[in-house]
């Protein structure tokens, strides 16, 4: 749980770095993968994860497929910021826990209890409150809807990558993350070379930070948590990410949160805490409380 919380807090700041870098999305993702690989290769070597026999052929193929899904997720989400703002795009992107729970039930046969559904429904209500209010001075209607669609596509790609990661139990998360960034580096190299190289210290600093902290460190924490937690708990803790992103968007770019967005964020946090701690609905509702026994 601590690994997942740390990963979500780190993730919440990446939108700020994407915007500050001022680079095309394909180049941002490429350098994120390249710097991430530079960190993960020596880590995997030191831990002995690159020795033969650490991963089977089937697991390697699954990891590559997960890498394609993760790279698509980054491209779609970063592209959504321009149309829907960091706050709204991140809020819509956070529908991925619902997609992950549904995929877990369909593909893995995982059981969904009524209490889990109730907490997810409450969180979805918070999502609706956040999405329905655009930030002040928002984009044009078509661009806004396009940003929403891109964020939804990113959410599905993330849920798919998380589902694949659950099939890689026993594979070190460091190695999974390394395969993902190598896949991204290879896929995006031709597109990244078409754009001019970054100029100045600020773009390089932001790109390096995204690679070292927001890729190398964050995905080691994330995949380690996904392998240890049940799907519904992974989805619940993922709600921490949009709250951090909305706060960062407010502090860094001055995007004012409407009252409905504050209410939506509160509902999401309540639902995340309820699912994480296993709060019973009967005990929370006044008409459902039971009298204490003698």
CA distances from 27 to 139, 200, 209, 216, 261 (A): 23, 15, 14, 18, 32
Q: Is residue 107 part of a domain?
A: yes
Q: Is residue 289 part of a domain?
A: no
Instruction: Write the pLDDT tens digit of every residue in 130-169.
Output: 667 655 554 555 577 788 789 889 989 988 998 898 888 8
Q: Sign of torsion, CA 91 77 181 157?
A: positive
C-alpha to C-alpha distance for 104 and 3, rounded to whole angstroms: 21
- For 177, residues 6+ apart whose C-beta sits below 8 A from its C-beta are 36, 40, 215, 216, 219, 220, 223
C-alpha to C-alpha distance for 90 and 107, rounded to whole angstroms: 26
The rounded Cα 11 to chain-centroid distance in angstroms is 7
C-alpha to C-alpha distance for 57 and 168, rounded to whole angstroms: 12
Instruction: Write the pLDDT tens digit of every residue in 87-139.
Output: 878 877 877 777 777 787 787 777 777 777 888 888 788 878 866 765 555 45
Which residue segment(s) compose the domain that 228 sits in? 1-192+203-277
Q: Is residue 292 part of a domain?
A: no
- Phi and psi at 293, nearest 5°, equal -75, 165
Q: Is residue 197 part of a domain?
A: no
Does residue 170 carry a pLDDT above 90? no
How many domains does the chain fold into? 1
How many other C-beta atoms can be found within 10 angstroms of the C-beta atom of residue 132? 12
Q: Is residue 286 part of a domain?
A: no
**What pLDDT score was predicted for residue 165?**
84
Counting beta carbons within 10 angstroms of the beta carbon of residue 140, is it exposed (0 to 12), middle (13 to 18) or buried (19 or more)?
exposed
Question: Do 133 and 280 form a contact (C-beta atoms < 8 A)?
Answer: no
Q: Is residue 84 part of a domain?
A: yes
- The model's pTM: 0.80
Q: Is residue 293 part of a domain?
A: no
Instruction: Write the pLDDT tens digit of every residue in 175-232.
Output: 988 999 999 999 999 988 787 777 788 889 999 999 999 988 887 788 778 778 886 7
- For 284, residues 6+ apart whose C-beta sits below 8 A from its C-beta are 274
Q: Which two tokens stand for residue 133?
A: 């209010």
Q: Is residue 287 part of a domain?
A: no
- For 188, residues 6+ apart whose C-beta sits below 8 A from its C-beta are 26, 29, 30, 33, 71
């Amino acid at each position: 749980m601590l690994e997942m919380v740390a990963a979500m807090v780190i993730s919440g700041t990446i939108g700020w770095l994407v915007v500050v870098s001022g680079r095309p999305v394909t180049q941002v993702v490429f350098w994120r993968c390249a710097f991430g690989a530079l960190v993960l290769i020596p880590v995997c070597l030191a831990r002995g994860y690159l020795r033969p026999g650490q991963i089977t052929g089937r697991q390697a193929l699954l990891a590559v497929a997960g890498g394609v899904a993760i790279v698509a997720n980054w491209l779609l989400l970063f592209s959504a910021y321009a149309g829907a703002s960091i706050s709204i795009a991140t809020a819509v992107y956070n529908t991925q826990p619902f997609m992950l729970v549904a995929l877990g039930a369909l593909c893995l046969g995982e059981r969904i209890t009524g209490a889990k559904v109730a907490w997810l429904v409450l969180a979805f209500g918070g999502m609706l409150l956040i999405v329905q209010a655009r930030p002040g001075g928002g984009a044009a209607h078509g661009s806004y809807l396009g940003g929403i669609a891109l964020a939804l596509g990113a959410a599905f790609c993330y849920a798919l990558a998380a589902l694949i990661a659950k099939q890689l139990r026993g594979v070190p998360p460091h190695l999974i993350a390394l395969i993902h960034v190598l896949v991204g580096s290879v896929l995006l190299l031709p597109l990244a070379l078409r754009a001019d190289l970054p100029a100045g210290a600020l773009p390089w600093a932001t790109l390096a930070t995204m690679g070292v902290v927001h890729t190398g460190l964050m995905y080691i924490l994330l995949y380690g948590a996904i392998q240890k937690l049940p799907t519904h708990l992974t989805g619940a803790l993922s709600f921490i990410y949009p709250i951090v992103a909305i706060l960062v968007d407010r502090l860094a770019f001055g995007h004012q949160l409407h009252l409905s967005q504050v209410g939506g964020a509160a509902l999401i946090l309540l639902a995340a805490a309820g699912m994480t701690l296993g709060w019973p609905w009967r005990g929370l509702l006044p008409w459902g409380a039971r009298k204490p026994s003698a």
